[in-house]
Amino acid sequence: MPVNKNKNMQALTNRAKEVNRKPMSFMESLYLPAIFKGMAITFSHIFKKQPTIQYPEQKRPFSPVFRGLHVLNRDEEGREKCTACGLCAVACPAEAITMEAAERLPGEENKYREEKYAAKYEINMLRCIFCGLCEEACPKDAIYLSETFAPANFTRKGFIYGKPDLLIPDPKTDPEGYEKAKGRNEPTTADN
């Protein structure tokens, strides 16, 4: 413990060490022993396991609570679940979500589950903070956060995701894409 010159000041931790300012001994001033020691350390690193993940080929598994890009969900028959109630937009602290509702017309029962649906549904990914409150607010389980990142884009407009970007693939016409987009409990992203 160093002696505090100022009696009023208290050391924050007991880890402080006094700096050694003794002149170097002859062996130290030769540098060579220290250099050889250092070289032995670096040489031993040749045989250490590399923590590198070859990114595009290998991916790190996500945590089960990871909150990535949003997905607009469908039910098993491929109908959109969203009823455009606007609760997600209200819940959103970053005000990233806008939507326009429309009424389901006769003959569209196979496309939309409820009588009202979102004709337009946009999330501004630059505003979104990926908090997941929209997922919690949704009474219809229509929106949830997936396990993917928002990819880079050249324009700000490119970050405003509309319905085509957000909707999950139809489980009837594209079951594979549906499963992949669902993502949960799947080892697709965990190669190592």
Partner 1 sequence: MTLLSIDWILLIEKLVLIAIIVFASLGIALYTTFAERKVAAVLQDRPGPNRAGPFGLFQPFADGLKLIMKEEIIPNTANKFLFILGPGLAMTAALMTCAVIPWSSHVELFDRTIDLQVADINIGILYIFGVVSLGVYGIMIGGWASNNKFSLMAALRGASQAISYELAMGMALIAVLMLSGSLSLRTIVDQQMEAGRLWNIAYQPLGFLIFFICAMAECNRTPFDLPEAENELNFGYHQEYSSMKLGFYLFAEYVNMIMSSAVMASLYFGGFDIPFVDEQHLVATNVLSQNVVALLGVLMLLVKIAIFIFVFMWIRWTIPRFRYDQLMNLGWKKLIPLALVNMLITGAVILWLGK
**Nearest approach, Cβ of residue 62 and partner 1 (Å):** 23
Closest of 100, 105, 184 to residue 148, by C-alpha:
184
Residue 171 backbone phi and psi in degrees, to 5: -65, -20
**Stretch touching partner 1 by CB under 8 A, among 14-22, 24-32, 107-115, 131-139:** 24-32
**DSSP one-letter code for 95:** -
The sign of the torsion formed by the CA atoms of 63, 65, 70, 75 equals positive
* Contact by Cβ (8 Å): 72, 82: yes
Site string for partner 1, 45-84 (x = CB under 8 A): xx-xxxxx-x------------------------------
Task: Indicate the residue among 47 and 154 with the shorter CB distance to partner 1.
Answer: 47
Of 31, 61, 93, 175, the one binding partner 1 by CB under 8 A: 31
Distance spanning both ends of the chain, measured CA to CA: 46
Question: 94 is written with which tokens?
Answer: 């970053």
Is residue 27 close enough to count as binding partner 1 by CB under 8 A? Answer: no
Q: Quote the least distance from Cβ 26 to partner 1, whole Å.
A: 11
- Binding residues (CB under 8 A) for partner 1: these are 29-31, 35, 38-39, 41-43, 45-46, 48-52, 54
